[in-house]
Amino acid sequence: MAESRNPTNLDGSSSVSALGLRWAALRGMLASPLIEADEQRSLREELLRELQSIEHDFATLPARNPVEIGAKIDVVKTALRNGAVEGPAWLADLLDSVQADLRAGVPRFSGHRPERPPVNLTRTFQPRPEPVPASAAEPEQPAA
């Protein structure tokens, strides 16, 4: 692992979304039963240090939209539930309530977009004529 203080700055961009993806990946790695093995202890400790660093970095970046605000709240709730941060048990419930309020106040946050008419589908299409069988296509000629 890189010893960089903030690995998301390596490419020049740092955002709550980038940190959130890194945080989720580290949480997934730490949840693996393979990382619990004694021979992986040093790797586990390094991952934990990096996870804590990322969790602290969330406080330094502004959220750009309601989804990123929700991601920051998720980080705090996870830290509270896992005992990484000391605090009253009701804090997680309060954060759940804040997220619900945020979703209710901002329709885009819930993933639903306001209904708007499709601009590019306003023209009408004429139905295609049914193919006429060959026998009906040619009028019958009277026999001579």
Q: What 8-state DSSP symbol labels residue 83?
A: T
Q: Is residue 46 part of a domain?
A: yes
Q: Is residue 126 part of a domain?
A: no
Q: Please write the tens of the pLDDT for every residue from 72-105.
A: 888 888 888 877 667 777 788 888 888 888 888 7
53 and 5 in contact (C-beta within 8 Å)?
yes
Q: Is residue 27 part of a domain?
A: yes
Question: How many domains does the chain divide into?
Answer: 1
Report the alpha-carbon angle 132-134-139, nearest 5. Answer: 95
Q: Is residue 116 part of a domain?
A: no
Q: Is residue 96 part of a domain?
A: yes
Looking at the predicted structure, is the pLDDT value of residue 26 above 90? yes
Looking at the predicted structure, is the pLDDT value of residue 144 above 70? no
Q: Whole-structure pTM over 0.75, yes or no? A: no
Domain carrying residue 76: 14-111
Residues 6 or more apart in contact with residue 87 via CB below 8 angstroms: 80
Q: Is residue 103 part of a domain?
A: yes
Residue type at position 24: A
* Structure confidence at residue 66 as a pLDDT band (50, 70, 90): confident
Q: Is residue 144 part of a domain?
A: no
Q: Is residue 135 part of a domain?
A: no
